Amino acid sequence: MFEVDGRIAGFVSVVGNEVWDTRRPESRESGCGARPEGHIAATHPYLKLEVFEANTIGRRFYDANGFRPVGEGFDDTTGFPIIRLRIDPWRS
């Protein structure tokens, strides 16, 4: 869980090796998510996630933190294009 000014700004959870995170829109530029997967990487051989292709802020963040594209597809709910990303923490 991330807090900004004493308020919950978002969270990160991991199911298997898949990262799921949610942040309040107003907290996305606050730095609250900087390298959250670092805490998780110690117990996972790799991490993977999906990001909307149109989410340029998220894509830059994940690229800067070592995630690399491994596939493409479409979100089941929205139909929007997604990019599948992966990081192998012990190799980066």
54-72: per-residue pLDDT in tens? Answer: 999 889 888 988 889 999 9
What pTM does this model have?
A: 0.68
Residue 46 pLDDT:
84
- Is 92 part of a structural domain of the chain? no
Q: Is residue 64 part of a domain?
A: yes
CATH number at residue 66: 3.40.630.30
- Cβ-contact 56, 27 below 8 angstroms: no
In DSSP terms, which residues pair with 68 in a beta bridge?
Answer: 86
Is-contact 52 11, C-beta < 8 A?
no
Handedness of CA 59, 64, 65, 71 (dihedral sign): positive
At 9 the pLDDT is 65
Q: How far is CA 71 from CA 5, 34, 50, 61, 78, in A?
A: 37, 24, 9, 18, 18
Query: How far is Cα 16 from Cα 29, in angstroms, rounded to an integer?
Result: 28
Instruction: Please give the residue range of the domain that contains residue 32.
Output: 2-87
Task: Give the per-residue pLDDT at 91.
Answer: 57
Res 71: pLDDT = 97
Give me the mean pLDDT over the 72-85 stretch.
Answer: 95
Q: What is the mean pLDDT of residues 64-84?
A: 93
Number of domains, the chain = 1
